[in-house]
C-alpha cells in the first residue's frame, strides 16, 4: 500500500459548511436563533434557514451519507422558517436522530421531534408557549384567526411526530403557573420524555449508538 493511500484511508472526517461528516454519519447543528426571512444582527448566533434547506437536500441526495445527527441548542426564532425546516427533516428518508444539549425552545420543539428518534440530556430544557408577533396589529380579529391557524399547524406537527396528544400540547402552551411573565410550560430533561415529546434521556454516545443501529437496521431491510 502506498504512503498516499495510507493517508487517504485515515481521512474519514470532513468539515464543510458548518457540518461534520464522520464516515457515513453527518452531524448538523441547530444553534442560537432560527433566522428566517429577515436577517438577524451580525453579532447573533443563528441557524440560517436559506443555508439549511440546500444542505438537507444535498444530504438526502448523497448516497455516501447513511444517517444524520442533529445537535440542538436553540432559543427558537422565526416560526415559518423553523416549521419549514422541521417538515424538511421529517420528510428525509435517511435515519435521523436529534440530541438536545442545552435548549430547544419555542419553534425548537417541532425541530427536536421532527427526527425519527430523539434524545435530551438531563439538564436541557424545552419551552412550549403560544405564537407571538411583534409590531402593530391591523384587523385584530383576522390576526387572531391567523395566529390560531399557525398555532394549529405547530401543535398538529408536534403531535404527529411525538407521543404527546394535540390537546396536551395546547394545554402546555397556555399554562399560567410556570412562567412569571408569560404563558407556557418548561420541561427539563426527563420531564420531556415523560410527557412523550422526546424518546429518551441521553447524551452524544447514546445518540450515535442509536443512529448506528438505525443505519444497520435499514441496511438489513434492503
pLDDT value of residue 177: 82
**CA nearest neighbour of 73 among 107, 41, 108:** 108
Q: Tell me the three cell numbers of residue 31.
A: 444553534
**CA nearest neighbour of 22 among 165, 212, 222:** 212
For 89-110, the pLDDT digits (tens) are: 999 999 999 999 999 998 899 9
For residues 152 and 112, the model is more confident at 112
Please answer whether residues 34 and 46 qualify as being in contact, where contact means their C-beta atoms are separated by less than 8 angstroms: yes
Q: How many domains does the chain have?
A: 1
Mean pLDDT of the chain: 83
Specify the pairing of strand 117-120 against strand 185-188. unpaired
Whole-angstrom CA distances from 131 to 75, 121, 148, 222 are 14, 26, 9, 42
**CA nearest neighbour of 114 among 58, 61, 56, 33:** 56
129 in active site: yes
Q: How confident is the model at residue 6 (pLDDT cuts 50, 70, 90)?
A: very low
Percent of the chain exceeding pLDDT 90 equals 52
Domain at 25, CATH number: 3.90.226.10
Most confident of 27-31, 119-123, 148-152: 119-123
Q: How far apart are the first and last CA of the chain?
A: 33
Catalytically annotated residue among 98, 104, 114, 129: 129
114 in active site: no
Catalytically annotated residue among 106, 114, 118, 162: 106
pLDDT value of residue 141: 57
Whole-angstrom CA distances from 173 to 81, 126, 169, 202, 205 are 20, 12, 6, 25, 32
Q: Which stretch of DSSP H or E encloses residue 186?
A: strand 185-188
For 33-59, the pLDDT digits (tens) are: 887 776 666 767 777 777 889 999 999
For residues 182 and 172, the model is more confident at 172
Q: Structural domain of residue 11, as residue ranges? A: 3-221
Amino acid at each position: 500500500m502506498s504512503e498516499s493511500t495510507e493517508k487517504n484511508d485515515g481521512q474519514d472526517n470532513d468539515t464543510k459548511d458548518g457540518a461534520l461528516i464522520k464516515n457515513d454519519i453527518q452531524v448538523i447543528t441547530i444553534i442560537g436563533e432560527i433566522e428566517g426571512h429577515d436577517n438577524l444582527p451580525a453579532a447573533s448566533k443563528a441557524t440560517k434557514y436559506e443555508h439549511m434547506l440546500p444542505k438537507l437536500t444535498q444530504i438526502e441526495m448523497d448516497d455516501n451519507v447513511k444517517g444524520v445527527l442533529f445537535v440542538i441548542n436553540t432559543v427558537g426564532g422565526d416560526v415559518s422558517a423553523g416549521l419549514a425546516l422541521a417538515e424538511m427533516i421529517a420528510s428525509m428518508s435517511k435515519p435521523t436522530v436529534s440530541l438536545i444539549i442545552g435548549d430547544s425552545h419555542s419553534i425548537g420543539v417541532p425541530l427536536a421531534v421532527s427526527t425519527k428518534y430523539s434524545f435530551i440530556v438531563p439538564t436541557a430544557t424545552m419551552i412550549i408557549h403560544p405564537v407571538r408577533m411583534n409590531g402593530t396589529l391591523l384587523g385584530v380579529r383576522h390576526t387572531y384567526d391567523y395566529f390560531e391557524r399557525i398555532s394549529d399547524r405547530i401543535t398538529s406537527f408536534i403531535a404527529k411526530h411525538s407521543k404527546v396528544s394535540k390537546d396536551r400540547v395546547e394545554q402546555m402552551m397556555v399554562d399560567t403557573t410556570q412562567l412569571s411573565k408569560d404563558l407556557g410550560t418548561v420541561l427539563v430533561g426527563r420531564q420531556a420524555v415523560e410527557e412523550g415529546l422526546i424518546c429518551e434521556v441521553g447524551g452524544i454516545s447514546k445518540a450515535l449508538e442509536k443512529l448506528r443501529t438505525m443505519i444497520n437496521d435499514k441496511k438489513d431491510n434492503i
